[in-house]
């Protein structure tokens, strides 16, 4: 299985990540990726870049080292209604957004509250992917999540970093298995993301691919197996 898009990577703009956009792009080219998404943390997280960083992304090259570049954000889900931390005037200028529940910012609530938060974020038309929804520290009703992903055409992420560093997230494999079985049943598309915080991890999907193979997950429901499929899910047709 070859994945051509890495939709989830961070750069030095988030100071707990350690590579530049150029370093990530070069790594993506070496990995044979066709599309790379730069999705730094939106401003509510303590060491995230300022809002001006997101406003100015339009100055960047659309292609680096032969890799098509997309510039977005990993938004923080700020409350149980699913509100996020960039307003529409900025969101409309970005290529796409991931929305994630980060416990550093929002304390995990009940399963009902957490699910409501993720569903609320999916109702935001700029949110195209729900990031790492597999952390057992944030219990979620996966049936509700998958059904709403279907309704809103939101991709659910299989996050390679969560699988690699499962020590700080809980029941990652078990929760992913449950979510993926439901995705298959309801025909919901997933996006595999490296969530790289260092260039060496860009395009590294090893653990995710191993899991998807193990459960024989249908390739047609994996967004990053085709640039066209991915761009269509972003609502961008084949611009990229």
Contacting residues toward Zn ion, per CB under 5 A:
74, 100, 131, 195
How near is the Cβ of 7 to Zn ion at its closest, in Å? 10
Q: What span, in angstroms and rounded, lies between the C-alpha atoms of 195 and 39?
A: 9
| Number of Cβ atoms within 10 Å of the Cβ of 164 | 16
Q: Between residues 89 and 191, which has the closer beta carbon with respect to Zn ion?
A: 191
Of the pair 89, 107, the CB lying nearest Zn ion is at 107
Radius of gyration over every alpha carbon of the chain, rounded to an integer in angstroms: 16
Q: From the CB of 122, what's the least distance to Zn ion, in Å?
A: 16
Q: Between 100 and 231, whose beta carbon lies closer to Zn ion?
A: 100
| CB nearer Zn ion, residue 25 or residue 97 | 97
**Three-state DSSP string of 79-115:** CCCCCECCCHHHHCCCCCEEEECCCCCCCCCCHHHHH
Our CB check for Zn ion shows the closer of 100 and 124 to be 100
- Copy the structure tokens of residue 88: 């529409």
Helix (H) or strand (E) holding 117: helix 111-122
Q: How far is CA 230 from the centre of its chain?
A: 12
Q: Tell me the sheet residues that pair with 64.
A: 67
Question: In this complex, which beta carbon is closest to Zn ion, that of residue 45 or of residue 146?
Answer: 45
Of 83, 88, 99, whose CA–CA distance to 42 is shortest?
A: 99
Least separation in angstroms between residue 63's CB and Zn ion is 23
Name the closest residue to Zn ion (Cβ): 100
User: How near is the Cβ of 123 to Zn ion at its closest, in Å?
Assistant: 20
Work out how close the CB of 218 gets to Zn ion at its nearest, in angstroms, rounded to a whole number: 26
Considering the complex, what minimum distance in angstroms separates the CB of residue 240 from Zn ion? 20
Report residue 40: phi and psi, to 5°: -70, 160
């Amino acid at each position: 299985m070859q994945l051509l898009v890495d939709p989830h990577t961070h750069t030095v703009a988030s100071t707990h990540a350690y590579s530049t956009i150029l370093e990530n792009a070069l790594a993506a080219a070496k990995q044979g990726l066709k599309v790379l998404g730069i999705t730094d943390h939106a401003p509510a997280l303590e060491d995230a870049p300022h809002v001006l960083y997101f406003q100015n992304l339009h100055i960047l090259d659309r292609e680096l080292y032969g890799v098509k570049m997309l510039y977005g954000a990993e938004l923080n889900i700020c409350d149980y209604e699913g509100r996020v931390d960039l307003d529409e005037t900025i969101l409309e200028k970005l290529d796409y957004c991931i929305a994630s529940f980060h416990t550093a910012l929002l304390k995990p609530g009940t399963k009902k509250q957490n699910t409501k938060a993720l569903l609320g974020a999916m109702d935001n038309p700029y949110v195209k992917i729900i990031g790492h929804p597999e952390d057992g520290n944030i219990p979620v009703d996966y049936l509700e999540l998958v059904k709403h992903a279907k309704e809103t055409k939101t991709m659910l992420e299989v996050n390679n970093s969560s699988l690699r560093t499962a020590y700080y997230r809980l029941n990652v494999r078990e929760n992913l298995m449950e979510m993926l079985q439901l995705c298959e049943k309801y025909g919901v598309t997933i996006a595999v993301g490296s969530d790289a915080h260092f260039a060496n991890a860009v395009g590294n999907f090893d653990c995710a691919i191993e899991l998807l193979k193990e459960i024989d997950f249908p390739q047609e429901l994996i967004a990053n197996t085709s640039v066209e499929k991915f761009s269509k899910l972003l609502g961008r047709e084949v611009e990229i």
